[in-house]
Chains A and B, each alone.
Chain A
């Protein structure tokens, strides 16, 4: 009994040690981001490739190369700060959290300026003026203006209008169209809504002007309806209190506007429009806001790209070319999926077995906390746990890197399920087995190790394999903490290439290629152990 407790404590200490080793890898947060940028000559900027063009997207010619007006901007901004730009991938809705948790220094990814955001973060002056453009089918005579949407739909029911979920467009539709005649359908990606208008599942869609301009050419059946409405501004966001950094970024933006650098970049991606003429005014007025140096400095005007170059930034692939171009990138992401699974699962089993043993055979005082551990982890979503480790722990000075967070989070989350499986497995062993072992003079710990556990291991093979496959697929949740695995890479590429079907096929094949051998191996192990006398 005592030796069991000792063994248990020792094993737990090992686990804690592994955890602590990870924490040591964490970097201490510095006092001032601008000093960091200048000292390390690195500007870490956060964006989401999955958001797609024209903001940031993988090149069609080489998916390892990133394109987009914000990519070009980041490079320029870094130059102004005397640094190199380092891209940090993050899910779009967590980019500000990345900045808050010191995982990135700036968020530069089409974030609209809003009073709420500017209150919680330092916001730059606008770098782009966007508006919302209504789009419908060219051959749809029913919709020629916003006013048409205020009339009842001739066929009955409401007009179906697709918007980007969680964006300002939801309110704008309500305001311009009226809730009685229009129904807002939220979408995750930009192009999905356009496609659904094309195939007549939607009547219209409301899109940010840069997206409409960039992807419009891929949907020739659609056209703009009316003038864009509800203009707003994209701003860069940095952590609250980083006033010196935001000041330097603002100076850089002013200089880029005055030199025509921003216009050049926007023209390159076909998103320069009348609205953005306003930027020149901002630059002109910057001297009143304290950016005197930037607004008065001599700047050399840059040359604008010629119109032919603007037409296509990269070429779309088709058929076999898609496989040869993107498969390596997908395979690489699949490697991450495998890495996450095979490292975290053994940890999960190790912790799970210890928890199960502690609950069944441990001293009384240990049982309640272990039960709480299992119930808490099973009762809360994996995503929240990952989010907590990655974004919340930095607030108290614990900064765990993304990959370590992913492995640790998966291992801890799954350890709860594993412990329940092993608890059931251990309890399924008839008590006579333990009694026989004890009566032969074995200690309780020896009996557990040599008699009870080996039999429990055999019983739990099927549910454990099941759990491994579940974990294997759950690795995709790790994209919320910036880890790019197969599913996230699929989303990124399918949105940037629009070759959704082909990407889906390749991704499914890769998943199958990984999970089928696993099933075979599991079946083999099950059969082998079954032959050597599992429980009768």
Chain B
């Protein structure tokens, strides 16, 4: 589904990603954990074409992102395959909840509003916010906003969804609301890559865990292997600080 090879990303002289290779298979839930500043978010943004990169390649289905400037059509094709859920939700404040969901299918895909509507309402129901369809983002709690953002991404029916620390901006109660939605998606075999600080999620939901540190994918494997028998010193010291739950 997603094949990343030797990805290098630099901000000026600062190398943020130092040649990362990573594969996400169809139906797989990959979790990326690791200390702050390890390049986790940047990595996600490169996959989605929100950041250009300097080396390596990102392949999403039949489309390939190459270093440097990428043709707008390619970017668009990749983004229609890969949804993105932001830490700060980024709902469109001038649109109602329902219109937030309808915008991309109607504008980007040219679908009729009526054609999208059942799909959108079903998704709102799935994230438990059917009653809020006419509310505006500013009237929702953070957890509700993030659930709308997830529904907004899913309405485009992406092959894969990238989550960038989806619960970091939320208090524990709201975070668990959102995590249960993501867990629910994982059970439905939705392919996804989740950058998270939730060790619990990585351990219990993910199929594959990657530990990013200092721009490297220092260690990866099934959760049991990574959590119970970490091979790398960096992983061990990270678990000492962050815990395993």
A residues sitting closer than 8 Å to B (CB atoms) are: 1-2, 430, 432-433, 435-444, 446, 450-451, 454-455, 458, 532-536
Determine if A440 and B50 form an interchain contact, defined as CB atoms under 8 angstroms apart: no
**B72 in contact (CB, < 8 A):** yes
Chain B positions within 8 Å of A458 at CB level: 94
* Complex Cα spacing A535 to B136, Å: 11
In the complex, which of the residues A2, A430, A440, A533 contacts B153, with contact meaning CB atoms closer than 8 Å?
A440
Q: Which of A436, A532, A536 has the most CB of B within 10 A?
A: A436
Interface centre among A2, A432, A440, A536 (most CB of B within 10 A): A440
B168 at the interface (CB under 8 A from A): no
Q: Given A1-B72, A458-B94, A536-B93, does the pair A439, B136 have CB atoms closer than 8 Å?
A: no
CA separation between A262 and B91, bound complex, in Å? 80
Assembled-state Cα–Cα distance A532/B153 (Å): 23
Interface status of B216 (Cβ within 8 A of chain A):
no
Chain B positions 57-87 with a Cβ under 8 Å from a chain A Cβ: 72, 75-76, 79-80, 82-84, 86
Chain B contacts for A444, CB-based, 8 A: 72
Q: A432-B88, A435-B86, A533-B136 are in contact. Are A440 and B94 (CB under 8 A)?
A: no
Q: Does B92 touch A at the CB level, under 8 Å? A: yes
Q: Given A433-B90, A435-B86, A534-B94: A440 and B76 within 8 A (CB)?
A: no
Contacts A2-B72, A439-B84, A441-B80 given; does A446 touch B108 at CB 8 Å:
yes
* A145: min CB distance to chain B, Å: 78
Residues of chain A within 8 A of B173, CB atoms compared: none
10 contacts between A and B (CB under 8 A): A433-B90, A436-B84, A436-B91, A436-B149, A438-B50, A439-B84, A450-B103, A458-B94, A534-B93, A536-B137
B76 close to A533 (CB less than 8 A) = no
User: Could you tell me the distance between the alpha carbons of A455 and B108 in the complex, rounded to whole angstroms?
Assistant: 19
Contact call A442/B50, Cβ cutoff below 8 A: no
Give the size category of B's interface with A: 20 to 34
Residues of A within 8 A of B91 (CB): 436
CA distance A455 to B100 in the complex (A): 14
Flag if A450 contacts B107 (CB, 8 Å). yes
Q: With A and B bound together, what is the CA distance between A53 and B49 in angstroms?
A: 75
B104 in complex: contacting residue of A430, A435, A440, CB < 8 Å: A440
> What is the interface of chain A mostly: helix, strand, loop, or mixed?
helix
**A441–B153 contact, CB under 8 A?**
no
Residue contact A435 to B103, C-beta cutoff 8 Å = no
Assess A441 versus B76: contact at CB under 8 Å? Given A432-B90, A436-B90, A455-B94.
yes
Q: Which of A1, A441, A450 has the most CB of B within 10 A?
A: A441
Q: What is the CA–CA distance of A437 and B104 in the complex, to the nearest angstrom?
A: 8
> Is B235 interfacial (CB 8 A cutoff)?
no
Residues in B with CB closer than 8 Å to A455 are 92-94
CB distance from A461 to the nearest CB of B (A): 13
Which residue from chain B places its CB closest to the CB of A456 in the assembled complex?
B94
When A and B form their complex, which 6 residue pairs have the shortest distance between CB atoms, in order from nearest? A533-B136, A436-B90, A440-B104, A439-B84, A441-B80, A432-B90
Determine which of B75, B82, B92, B138 lies in contact with A436 in the assembled complex, contact meaning CB atoms within 8 Å. Answer: B92
Residue on B with the closest CB to A444? B72
Q: Which A residues are CB-close (under 8 A) to B83?
A: 439-440
Name the residue on B nearest A435 (C-beta): B50
Known: A438-B49, A440-B108. 4 other contacts (CB 8 A): A441-B108, A444-B72, A455-B93, A533-B136
Q: In whole Å, how far is B126's beta carbon from the nearest beta carbon of chain A?
A: 18
Choose from A430, A440, A443 the contact partner of B103 (Cβ within 8 Å): A440
B209 at the interface (CB under 8 A from A): no
Q: Which one, B72, B90, B137, B152, contacts A435 given CB within 8 A?
A: B90
Q: Is the beta-carbon distance between A438 and B79 smaller than 8 angstroms?
A: yes
Chain A: minimal CB distance from B52 (Å): 13
User: Which of B49, B94, B136 has the most CB atoms of chain A within a 10 A radius of its CB?
Assistant: B94
Which residues of the other chain, B, contact A536 by a CB distance below 8 angstroms?
93, 137-138
Assess whether B93 is in contact with A442, with CB atoms less than 8 Å apart: no
Interchain CB contact under 8 A, B90 and A441: no
CB nearest to A432 among chain B residues = B90
Smallest CB-CB separation from B158: which chain A residue?
A441
Q: Which residues of A contact B152 (CB under 8 A)?
A: 440
B contact residues around A435 at 8 Å (CB): 50, 84, 86, 90
CB distance from A78 to the nearest CB of B (A): 62
Q: Which residue of A lies closest to B162 (CB)?
A: A439
Pairwise interchain contact B104-A442, C-beta atoms closer than 8 A: yes
- Knowing A438-B50, A536-B93, say if A443 contacts B137 (CB, 8 Å): no
Chain A residue contacts of B50, Cβ below 8 A: 435, 438-439
Cα distance A2–B69 in the bound complex, in angstroms: 14
Collect the chain B residues with CB atoms within 8 Å of residue A534's CB.
93-94
Instruction: Check B48 for interface membership: any CB of A closer than 8 A.
Output: yes
Least distance between A140 CB and chain B CB atoms (Å): 71
User: B229 at the A/B interface (Cβ < 8 Å)?
Assistant: no
